[in-house]
Chains A and B, each alone.
Chain A
Amino acid sequence: MNRQSTFVCAVLLVVGTISIGLARPLQLVYAHSFSGSESASFLSLVHKIRVESGLVLDNVGNATLARQHAENAAKAIDNQTLDEIAERNNRIANDLSSLLQDLQTAAASTPIDAASINDIASNLDATLGEAVSVRIDQEQLNNSTVQAIVLADVIDEALGNYGSAFEVGFDMTNMSLMDEMIQHTNSSVGDGGSMQGSNMQTHDNTSSSTAVNMSAYQSAQAFANKSLEIFQNDLKPLSPTGTAGGNNSSNLTAAISQIESSLVKLQQAINNKASPEEIIMIVHAEIHPNIQIVYKLQLLS
Chain B
Amino acid sequence: MYLCIVASALVVASLSALPSVHAHQEFEFGQVTIEPGWATEPPLVEQLNNIEVLITAGPNNQPVSNAFANLTVSIQKGGLTKELAFLPGEETAGHYLAEIFPTQVGAYSLVFNGQVEGETIQTTVPIEDVEDVGRLEFPQSSGGSGDQQSQQITQQLGTILSDLSTQIDQTRQVAENTANNTQQSFQASQDSKLAADRAYLVGMIGAGMGAAGIIIAVTLSRKNSS
Contact = CB atoms under 8 A, between A and B. Distances in A.
A95 interface: yes
B91 A127 contact: no
A95 B93 contact: yes
B66 A91 contact: no
30 contacts: A89-B87, A89-B88, A89-B90, A90-B90, A91-B88, A91-B89, A91-B90, A91-B91, A91-B92, A91-B93, A92-B88, A95-B93, A126-B64, A126-B65, A126-B66, A126-B69, A127-B66, A129-B65, A129-B66, A129-B69, A130-B65, A130-B66, A130-B88, A133-B66, A133-B68, A133-B87, A133-B88, A134-B87, A134-B88, A138-B85
How many chain A residues sit at the interface, stated as a range, is 10 to 19
Contacts of B64: 126
Contacts of A35: none
Q: Give the interface centre of A90, A95, A126, A130 by most chain B CB atoms within 10 Å.
A: A130
Interface string B95-115: 000000000000000000000
A189 to B, nearest CB: 53
Contacts, number: 33
Interface residues of B, number: 13
A209 interface: no
Interface in A150-177: none
A123 B94 CA distance: 12
A85 to B, nearest CB: 11
Nearest to A124: B65
Interface string A106-146: 00000000000000000101110110011000100000000
Contact of B65 (A90, A123, A134, A138): A123
A89 B87 CA distance: 9
B126 to A, nearest CB: 26
Contacts of B91: 91
A133 B86 CA distance: 9
Given A91-B93, A126-B64, 13 more contacts: A89-B87, A89-B88, A89-B90, A91-B88, A95-B93, A123-B65, A126-B65, A126-B66, A127-B65, A127-B66, A129-B69, A133-B66, A138-B85
Contacts of B93: 91, 95
Nearest to A130: B88
Contacts of A129: 65-66, 69
A89 B65 CA distance: 13
Nearest to B64: A126
A138 B65 CA distance: 18
A89 B90 CA distance: 6
B84 to A, nearest CB: 12
Contacts of A127: 65-66
A125 B64 CA distance: 12
Smallest CB-CB A-B distances: 10 pairs: A129-B66, A126-B65, A126-B66, A130-B88, A130-B66, A91-B90, A129-B69, A89-B90, A134-B87, A127-B65
Nearest to B68: A133
B97 to A, nearest CB: 11
Interface string B57-90: 0000000111011000000000000000101111
Contacts of A90: 90
Contacts of B88: 89, 91-92, 130, 133-134
Contacts of B89: 91
B66 to A, nearest CB: 4
Contacts of B87: 89, 133-134
A32 B76 CA distance: 48
A217 B66 CA distance: 31
A91 B93 CA distance: 8
A127 B85 CA distance: 17
Nearest to A122: B65
A148 to B, nearest CB: 22
A159 B196 CA distance: 81
Q: Which of B65, B89, B91, B92 has the most CB of A within 10 A?
A: B65
